[in-house]
Amino acid sequence: MNTTTAPPKTAPPETVPRFLPADTPVLGRVTVVIAPQPVELPVGLVRRLWRFADRNRTVVLFALFLVIADVAVGWFSPVWARHSPDDYAARVAGCAREPRDLVFVGGSPVSEGIDPDKIAGVSWAGKTLDSTYALGLSGGTTSDFYHAVLHGCPTPPRILVYGITASDLNDSRHEPHGPYSLMTWGDLGRWVRLRPESAEWVTRHFALSRVGQASNLFRYRHGIRMWATTSAEQQLPGSCPEAIREADELRERSAALENGNGYAPARGYSVGRYDVAKAAGVQPTELPYLRKFRTGSHLKYLHKLIDWCEAGGTKLLLIDMPVTADLEAIYPSEFTEFRLRLAEVEQSRPIRVIRATRESVGLTDAHYADLIHMNRDGAVIFSRWMRETLAKMGR
């Protein structure tokens, strides 16, 4: 609004109301001319957005820079992945690199206890099984293993060996790593139909994983942290003693998963000795993965796996993985129920279950790192036994 003042040319009419008392003399007069308001033309969306951006420059620039930073982080994703691999995704990608003759799948007992190199070359029905891979997913469940096989074996292998144990079938377990790293939208739909009782859980975690993966910064945050730790350690040796141990192990694992056969045992399990720990008075009294044991829901995915093998012409073998006697003693009813389920599946479906007892394999407490995980010596013994067993079966 523009206002201008100008000296009066003529006296105003006396009818103009006065706000001062009647006897107050008029010392001077001004005329205020108010220019008409300019007609507001409709403002376009672009102009309005520009105005908003101009007003909120800091916030808009912050959002813009954040997107740029996120894209920049994405460009270096191989660096971050090398420093902190997504274990499940890396194993699935490793398995899918080439068509496989023999694939082992299962949880941490498989990832720690089976070295495919010790088994590769075994003869099955007159043909050697050269390309082998261990798809061992620590902390996984049968539902996760089904998805791992589905995406890790685009070409169905000749033989699929599932090293199963009681905790794989425990319906009280819900592990978010599966929805995060293994599942697609189609897998989500199948899960919701097949296991409606956990539909809310899987949808929530799947959605969270997709939101998390939308940002490179969030997705690779641990890799960036490990990279920063390694860089800091190079500049200031001894500055991050604990973090650098983790970073070293993760880099080692990343290299093993990138080029190897899936056998990348954790450092702690590899050298651990359960018998020594027991002698020192350390004796675990429980395995959290077997808490509140109940079966039925994950089992549906075992049937899906059997269907998948039948459809692809893959021979499926289930191995009841050997665990320590102490674990079976702590959870007798859980192992009874688990083995009952295996027997039911064996009766109802055309699969073979191999009962790998400690005695038949030759394992003692000295070959375990803890209640359930074999150490490196245990893995050597078990892998050799596996090779012999497959050789016998394949004749």
Quickly tell me which residue has 């043909």 as its tokens: 127
Residues 240-259 within binding reach of other proteins (CB under 8 A) = 240
Q: How far is the CB of 14 from other proteins (least distance, A)?
A: 42
Q: Which CB, 56 or 348, lies closer to other proteins?
A: 56
Residues 279-338 within binding reach of other proteins (CB under 8 A) = none
51 contributes a contact to other proteins by CB under 8 A: no
How many residues form the binding site for other proteins (CB under 8 A)?
Answer: 22
Could you give the string, one character per residue 73-92, with x where binding to other proteins holds by CB under 8 A and - elsewhere? x-------------------
Using CB under 8 A, pick the residue from 217, 256, 277, 393 that binds other proteins: 217
Using CB under 8 A, pick the residue from 225, 251, 278, 387 that binds other proteins: 225
Q: How far is the CB of 62 from other proteins (least distance, A)?
A: 4
Pick from 380, 277, 361, 266: nearest CA to 319: 361
**Cα–Cα distance for residue pair 261/369, rounded to 1 Å:** 22
Q: Which CB, 64 or 125, lies closer to other proteins?
A: 64
Using CB under 8 A, pick the residue from 98, 117, 218, 291 that binds other proteins: 218
Quickly tell me which residue has 């739909």 as its tokens: 189
126 contributes a contact to other proteins by CB under 8 A: no
DSSP 329-394: HHSHHHHHHHHHHHHHHHHHSS-EEEE--HHHHT--GGGBSSSS-B-HHHHHHHHHHHHHHHHHHH
Q: Which CB, 189 or 237, lies closer to other proteins?
A: 237
Pick from 279, 248, 280: nearest CA to 266: 248
Q: Which CB, 57 or 267, lies closer to other proteins?
A: 57
236 contributes a contact to other proteins by CB under 8 A: yes
SS3 5: strand
Cβ atoms of 33 and 4 closer than 8 Å: yes
Using CB under 8 A, pick the residue from 81, 120, 192, 228 that binds other proteins: 228
Which two tokens mark 33? 């001319």
**Cα–Cα distance for residue pair 236/242, rounded to 1 Å:** 14
From 26-34, 213-221, 251-259, 299-307, give the range in contact with other proteins by CB under 8 A: 213-221
**Cα–Cα distance for residue pair 191/189, rounded to 1 Å:** 5
How many Cβ atoms sit within 10 Å of the Cβ of residue 210?
14
Cβ atoms of 297 and 171 closer than 8 Å: yes
**Cα–Cα distance for residue pair 199/95, rounded to 1 Å:** 28
Provide, for the chain, the percentages of residues in helix, strand and coil under a 3-state DSSP scheme, each rounded to the nearest 5: 55, 10, 35
Q: How far is the CB of 49 from other proteins (least distance, A)?
A: 14
- Strand bridging mode 159-164 / 102-106: parallel
Residues 55-74 within binding reach of other proteins (CB under 8 A) = 55-59, 61-62, 64-66, 69, 73
Q: Which CB, 43 or 72, lies closer to other proteins?
A: 72
Q: How far is the CB of 24 from other proteins (least distance, A)?
A: 38
Give the interface with other proteins as residue ranges (CB under 8 A). 55-59, 61-62, 64-66, 69, 73, 217-218, 221, 224-225, 228, 236, 238-240
